[in-house]
Amino acid sequence: AIKDEHLEEPFAIIPASRHTGGDKPEYLTASRRVLTNALVHACNFLCCKAVYWDMRGAWCEHLYRHRVSGGAPFSTNLEPLLDGLNQVLADIGNQMPDNTRAFFAAELLKVVCEAYNRALLDGGPCRWFSPEDVPALEADLQQLALLFEAEGEGLPRPLIDGIMAGTYRVLELIRMDTPSLMEALKNARKEAATSTSGSASVSTSKVMRKLKLGGKEVPLNSLSMRRDQSRGDTEDLGQFSEGELMRALARRPERVGSKLLKEKYDLPITKTK
């Protein structure tokens, strides 16, 4: 099982100094730091290669193609990709010592979440998402979390939740119905125009009180501040930037959203015969 100390000190490659005079020798501390940086980059490279190269077809082309529920040609949910990720953890992770394996697993989950977010927001012309897709997306993310938790033998659940917090934040964008999403984008553009910094974000609580999901109005749960334990930074999960709102609206199948984007951002009008 992965222990907490493996995450706190993932690269304990050089043993502690036997020097009894107090602090560790400076050369030993510097060497430890260099090895740590090298292993960080090596793990990141291996994870990016596994996701963006070895599994590029599944991530870039097949995942949620056309619709989340599947059924369309080449469409798939996240489940087939979990087998590939499990193989990566087995083939690469099992060759590493406990300390490095813990960090490698956490780094792989980060890269997977980044790829997943890009599929949801930058999925190209063959991916469409609507509020009715959120339960299926949440089920897929739950399966992803269970894979890395490995029945208590993998990463600690608080760490997994911290890494995946940004992805659940994207689901809140997808949960918004199209009219609310359009209104939020308009408000963000107005705030950007009047802001001295030139950028703006919109709180979901200011845009709407309720969401339409499955034909019913449900209250929007307030999003709290969460700390991404994997990176040590804090982000306001209740704020959406203009760019995020625009990307989410671009993934909607409704023509009214596409029309708004073309008008507001001077995109060329598609000519139909």
Q: What is the pLDDT of residues 114-140, one digit of tens each?
A: 999 999 999 877 888 999 999 999 999
Please tell me whether residue 197 adopts helix, strand or coil conformation. coil
Say if pTM beats, i.e. exceeds, 0.85. Answer: no
- Whole-number pLDDT of residue 24: 61
Measured in degrees and rounded to the nearest 5, phi and psi for residue 168 equal: -65, -30
Count of positions (residues) in the chain: 273
Query: How far apart, in whole angstroms, are the C-alpha atoms of residue 237 and residue 220?
Result: 13
Residue 219's contacts (CB-CB under 8 Å, 6 or more residues apart) are 209, 210, 211
Nearest Cα residue to 89 out of 111, 61, 71, 57: 111
List, in sequence order, every beta strand (DSSP E) within the chain. 201-203, 210-213, 216-219, 225-228, 233-236, 239-241
Nearest Cα residue to 172 out of 143, 128, 205: 205
**Rounded average pLDDT over 39-67:** 90
- Whole-number pLDDT of residue 270: 56
Q: Residue 10 in contact with residue 102, Cβ under 8 Å?
A: yes
**Rounded average pLDDT over 219-225:** 30
Pick the more confident residue, 234 or 49: 49
Q: Residue 112 in contact with residue 51, Cβ under 8 Å?
A: yes
Q: Which of 14-18, 118-122, 173-177, 200-204 has the lowest mean pLDDT?
A: 14-18
Q: Indicate the pLDDT class of residue 204, thresholds 50, 70 and 90.
A: very low
- Whole-number pLDDT of residue 267: 72
Is pLDDT of 7 > 60? no
Please tell me whether residue 185 adopts helix, strand or coil conformation. helix
**Rounded average pLDDT over 75-87:** 85
Highest mean pLDDT among 21-25, 223-227, 257-261: 257-261
Task: Specify the DSSP element, H or E, that contains 43.
Answer: helix 26-48
Q: Residue 182 in contact with residue 242, Cβ under 8 Å?
A: no
